[in-house]
Amino acid sequence: MLGTGETGVLLRDNGLDVPLANGETAYFNYYWLRDNCPTSFDPETRERVFDVFGMDTAPKARSAAISAGDLEISWADSNHITRLPLKFLSAYAKGEKRPDIANLPRVPWYGDHYAKIARFAYDDLVADKANVLEWTRAMLTDGVALLTGLPDTDAALLDTASLIGHVRPSYFGLDFEVKTHIKPTNLAYTSKALPLHTDLPDEDLAPGVQFLHCRANTVDGGNSIFVDAIAVAEDFRKAYPEDFDLLVATDVPYYCEHESFDMRSRQRVIELDEYGNISGVTISQHHADIFDMPQDYLDRYYPAFCRFGKMMRDAKYLMRFHLNGGECIVFDNHRIVHGREAYSATSGQRHLHGCYTDRGELRSTFRVLSGEGRFK
Ligand SMILES: [Fe+2]
């Protein structure tokens, strides 16, 4: 303990105690105080330009006091003065995570969701960012939205995606065409039924947000089937807590191998976010590699995995709908498990144009359009 300032600031060996509002006192570390001095940030780039690694000795206050609502520190090793508003200090006093406006509660939905799905007209999104804000909000809470009135052009998909993020390529390229291919490299490129899945679990970081622009859908069959895996996983946690823990803790191998690629990655079927909430799933039977865990571990894992897969197919969760020409379904690929019924390839046209953006950029767009940020 080095001394007491007149305004109640107590200097200690590695930091200081500051009286904050409501008579509470909070401790702050000297490195943290020096590193986060407002002068440490470039006002133009908004990046930190102070070099904490370049200090020859550990920072220490010569004196510190409260003045006009600021903590004012005079540093022992330089003539530098740091002024930090007490309001700023209060936000970090308890060592809690910085609040994030994009951390919206996820609202589980069920098989009857199609009538309630958030819908936005393409022209309205292009005309007014306030509509894009509501679209991103729906993506964060519901994980799915239906856009209508897209132009019947190749450019419409990428133009739409660019409203909330940059298109992020996969090993299938910048975008992809879902229709019957002559030499398919993917079940989606056939007219067969496509079991419930999330896309590309064989990538290190599976795509975050998926866009499917329906250019035509006049075939017999081919309905889309969407499930909110948050709703399923929440129920699964209650019904089978031990199975839930296994699916959260176990890395499962996924693959996609063809002539020109051999993608492999390991993912957990149920994913938790940094707050311990269920944030989504990564699941795909057709991209699951041969499970290479010890066989006696599989005695427990397979039944849990199958119970979850079966629960996902319960009618309670299945949103079945027909995607129409000019519509674009947009969904969180780590949350919404999707599939398709088989269709008759000769009965008409079925053509979807798809691409991905990332979830981080979705949250970024939501924060920016909400007017939130440290530099606002
Ligand atoms: Fe898919």
> In terms of domains, do 28 and 126 share one?
no
Q: Into how many domains does the chain fold?
A: 2
What pLDDT, on a 0 to 100 scale, did the predictor assign at position 274?
86
Looking at 257-358, list the stretches that DSSP marks H as alpha helix, in order from N- to C-terminal side.
295-312
Residues 345 and 248 in one domain: yes
200 belongs to a structural domain: yes
235: CA distance to ligand 1 center in Å? 24
What CATH code is carried by the domain that includes residue 252? 3.60.130.10
Q: Is residue 215 part of a domain?
A: yes
Residue 106 inside a domain? The answer is: no
Distance from the CA of 132 to the center of ligand 1, in angstroms?
Answer: 24
Tokens of 143: 């994980």
* 338 alpha carbon – ligand 1 mean position (Å): 6
Distance 300 CA to ligand 1 centre (A): 28
- pLDDT higher than threshold 60 for residue 197: yes
Q: Which two tokens stand for residue 243?
A: 């199975």
Evaluated on CA atoms 360, 364, 370, 375, the torsion sign reads positive
pLDDT at position 6 over 80 = no
Distance (Å) from CA 284 to ligand 1 centroid: 9
Task: Please check whether residues 118 and 82 belong to one and the same domain.
Answer: no
Number of CB atoms found within 10 A of residue 147's CB: 23
pLDDT category at 137 given cuts 50, 70, 90 is very high
pLDDT at position 182, please? 63
Residue 327 pLDDT greater than 50, yes or no? yes
Do 123 and 61 share a structural domain? no
Same domain flag for 149 and 68: no
15 and 57 co-located in one domain: yes
Q: Which of 225, 201, 159 is nearest to 286 (CA)?
A: 201
In the sheet that holds 336-340, the strands lie side by side as 194-197, 336-340, 224-228, 319-321
The per-residue pLDDT for 307 is: 98
pLDDT at 185: 75
Residue 199 Cα, ligand 1 centroid: separation in angstroms?
5
- pLDDT band (50, 70, 90) for residue 1: very low
* Distance (Å) from CA 78 to ligand 1 centroid: 59
Arithmetic mean of pLDDT, 195-207: 96
Backbone angles phi, psi at 107, to 5 degrees: -105, 110
**What is the domain extent for residue 135?**
113-370
Give me the pLDDT at residue 219, please.
87
Average pLDDT, the chain: 94
pLDDT, tens digit, for every residue of 76-118? 999 999 999 999 999 999 999 999 999 999 999 999 999 999 9
Same domain, 295 and 246: yes
Q: From ligand 1's centre to the CA of 33, what distance in Å?
A: 48
Å from CA of 64 to ligand 1 middle: 59
| Residue 312 CA, ligand 1 centroid: distance in Å | 16
Tell me how far the alpha carbon of residue 171 lies from the centroid of ligand 1, in angstroms.
Answer: 14
User: Taking residues 164-178, what's their average pLDDT?
Assistant: 95
Cα 197 to ligand 1 centroid, rounded to whole Å: 6
Residue 27: give its domain's CATH number.
Answer: 3.30.2020.30
pLDDT in tens, 202-236: 999 999 999 999 999 888 888 999 999 999 999 99
Per-residue pLDDT of 112-135, as tens digits, reads 999 999 999 999 999 999 999 999
Once rounded to an integer, what is the mean pLDDT over residues 332-345? 93
Q: Residue-wise over 87-103: b if at least 16 C-beta within 10 A, else e?
A: eebeeebeeeeeeeebe
Q: How far is the CA of 38 from the centre of ligand 1 (A)?
A: 47
C-alpha of residue 340 to centroid of ligand 1, in Å = 9
Q: Is 62 within the bounds of a domain? A: yes
Per-residue confidence at 344, pLDDT binned at 50, 70, 90?
Answer: confident
pLDDT at 2: 42
Write down the pLDDT at residue 3: 47
Distance 39 CA to ligand 1 centre (A): 48
Give dist(CA 369, CA 376) in Å, integer.
12
* Residue 85 sits in the same domain as residue 128: no
Q: Reply yes or no on whether the pLDDT at 4 is more than 60.
A: no
Dist. CA 198 → ligand 1 center (Å): 6
